[in-house]
């Protein structure tokens, strides 16, 4: 019986410490998640309002494509960074 309060206090401390750790760790992730959601939301809003834009990245051969007759879009190779 005599050790119970100390045990309980230790358990509470441990739980609080663990909780605080996870909250702190979680908060960091939450900040990133919320930041990403807000950023993505703004981008999506602008995209839905702004409309037509090529999202397929850098393509090659574009220097001549302004004059190329009937050049299919797919023939432009895309190169990743």
Partner 1 sequence: MATAAPRPMSAEEKKVIFASSLGTVFEWYDFYLYGSLAAIIAKQFFSGLDEGSAFIFALLAFAAGFIVRPFGALVFGRLGDMIGRKYTFLVTILIMGLSTFIVGVLPNYASIGVAAPVILIALRMLQGLALGGEYGGAATYVAEHAPHGKRGAYTAWIQTTATLGLFLSLMVILGTRTAIGEDAFADWGWRIPFIVSILLLGVSVYIRLSMNESPAFTKMKAEGKTSKAPLSESFGQWKNLKIVILALIGLTAGQAVVWYSGQFYALFFLTQALKVDGPTANVMVAISLIIGTPFFIVFGALSDKIGRKPIILAGCFLAAVTYFPVFTALTKAANPDLAAAQAAAKVTVTADPAECSFQFNPTGTKKFTSSCDIAKQKLASASVSYDNIIAPAGTPAVIKVGETEVLTVVTPEDIATAKDGAEKKLAELNAAEPQDAKAIAAATARVKALSGEKTAKDAVLSGKLSAALKAAGYPAKADMAKFDKTTVVIILTYLVLLVTMVYGPIAAMLVEMFPTRIRYTSMSLPYHIGNGWFGGLLPTTAFAIVAQTGNMYNGLWYPIIIAGATVVIGGLFIKETKDVDIYAND
Under the rule (CB under 8 A), what is the footprint of partner 1? 21, 24-25, 28, 33, 36-37, 39-40, 42-44, 46-81
CB 71 within 8 A of CB 62: no
Indicate the residue among 3 and 79 with the shorter CB distance to partner 1.
79
Question: What's the closest the beta carbon of residue 6 comes to partner 1, in angstroms?
Answer: 26
Question: What's the closest the beta carbon of residue 13 comes to partner 1, in angstroms?
Answer: 19
The residue written with tokens 């909780």 in the block is 19
List CB contacts of 37: < 8 A, sequence separation 6 or more: none
Question: What's the closest the beta carbon of residue 11 comes to partner 1, in angstroms?
Answer: 21
Coil/strand/helix, residue 59? strand
Indicate the residue among 6 and 49 with the shorter CB distance to partner 1.
49
The residue written with tokens 């879009």 in the block is 73
């Amino acid at each position: 019986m005599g050790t119970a309060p100390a045990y309980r206090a230790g358990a509470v401390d441990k739980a609080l410490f663990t909780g605080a750790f996870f909250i702190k760790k979680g908060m960091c992730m939450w900040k990133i998640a919320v930041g990403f959601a807000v950023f993505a939301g703004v981008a999506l809003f602008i995209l839905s309002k702004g409309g037509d834009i090529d999202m397929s990245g850098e393509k090659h051969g574009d220097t001549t494509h302004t004059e190329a007759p009937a050049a299919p879009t797919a023939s432009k190779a895309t190169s990743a960074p």
